Structure 1
Amino acid sequence: MPRQARTRQLLDMAWALISEEGTDQLTLGRLAEAAGVTKPVAYDHFGTRNGLLAALYEDYDVRQTAIFDTAVDAAKATMHEKARVVAASYVDCVLTQGQEISAVVAALGGSPELQAVKRSYQHAFIEKCQRIFAPFAGTAGVSNAGMWAVLGAADTLSQAAADGDISRSQASDELMQTLLAVVKRSA
């Protein structure tokens, strides 16, 4: 099997294992066993368990970014519509992956290397949103602090929706209002 196809197979199997058993049970040995490959194959693709977790986070982020970018590009060029689409896309991406991404994010916080991977994607999201909302903000643009607030709200509201504490629409609506408030304050 070509390397790229094998990596995809291993990532898909890792997501399935997380769904069934959680991240605590996810090891490269367990992944190899479930995927029907030898341990050296799994180690060759990811190096370490942390490498696997980082690859899972990246896999999620690549898919989330593609969905997010497509939706934002298709949205009308108004502040309200861009905020609605950003909020809905963020929540939907988390809900699509379900509890599995929450488990990976929790595991990512466990080491400095994995925290660095997560932070790089957080910074990319903040910069993207600052570009999206620049036309609606003042000359200084949307503040970093405001975007960190939005990101915190996005993560918390999405998790609450994934946990069933609030609905998808409640999470999206609250996130949209938070985003609008931050952008309006910058104007």
Structure 2
Amino acid sequence: MSSATEKNPVATKRVRLTREQRLNQLIDVAWRLVREEGTDALTLPRLAEEAAVAKPVVYDHFGTRNGLLAALYQDFDARQTVVMDAAIAASEPTLEATARTIASSYVDCVLTQGREIPGVLAALAGSPELETVKRAYQRVYIEKCRKVLSPFTDEKGIAAAGFWAMLGAADGLSNAAATGEITADEAERELYETIVAMVQRGGR
């Protein structure tokens, strides 16, 4: 008499993921670990256990815990870029609409990630190597903001210090909203006003 697995040999085969699919799976599991247990619980052996894969698979993708943290930040940044690009494309070409879109997309992205992103950012700040990675992505974000806000400024544009101040406000307000210190509406409104004021100081 045949067993169920003999009747259906496909059932005994594991689905083989592509490298990209495996990476996405590991990133999803890592975010869940951070969300449920905090950043301190995120180690490569623990990630392998939670993802039900061999440890060498995890080490092959990330190398070190710092590599994993960097990958989480890159994942967050990539999703933030997609959200912002789509929102900008759909917004009206006015300063008010553009500033509101930048503010809402930044806050929304942080809130979507919830409490885990502040922990990842704190861990990034503890490593000079990872701080360099973070700074590189921040510069890309600032350049994106400079480009979309340039139609509302004069030929001098906005000073670099203004953008770094804006980014600091965005991080602080979004993290405060994520931890419940302020509401999302308060964070978006304050960031919107910060952006408009920054543009008007150096604008037409």
Please, what TM-score do these two structures have when normalized by structure 2? Answer: 0.90
Please state whether the residue corresponding to 2:53 is helix, strand or coil: coil
1:11 aligns with 2:27: yes
- Report the count of equivalent residues: 187
1:58 aligns with 2:74: yes
Structure 2: distance between partners of 1:113 and 1:69 = 28
Match of 1:99 in 2: 115
Deviation digits for residues 102-157 of structure 1 (CA, Å, limit 9, x no counterpart): 11111001111100110011101111111111111111111110011100100011
What are the ranges of 5 or more consecutive residues in structure 1 without an aligned counterpart? none
Match of 1:144 in 2: 160
Please state whether the residue corresponding to 1:165 is helix, strand or coil: coil
Please state whether the residue corresponding to 2:41 is helix, strand or coil: coil
What are the ranges of 5 or more consecutive residues in structure 2 without an aligned counterpart? 1-16
Please state whether the residue corresponding to 1:24 is helix, strand or coil: helix
Please state whether the residue corresponding to 2:39 is helix, strand or coil: coil
1:177 aligns with 2:193: yes
Q: CA deviation at 1:25?
A: 1.4
Match of 2:133 in 1: 117
Match of 2:86 in 1: 70
Q: Determine which structure has more spread, i.e. the larger CA radius of gyration.
A: 2
- Percent identity over the alignment? 58
Match of 1:161 in 2: 177
Report the AA paired with residue 107 of structure 1.
A
1:20 aligns with 2:50: no
Please state whether the residue corresponding to 1:155 is helix, strand or coil: helix
Structure 2: distance between partners of 1:97 and 1:156 = 15
Please state whether the residue corresponding to 1:184 is helix, strand or coil: helix
Match of 2:95 in 1: 79
Runs of 4+ in structure 1 displaced over 6 angstroms?
Answer: none
Q: RMSD value over aligned CA atoms?
A: 0.7
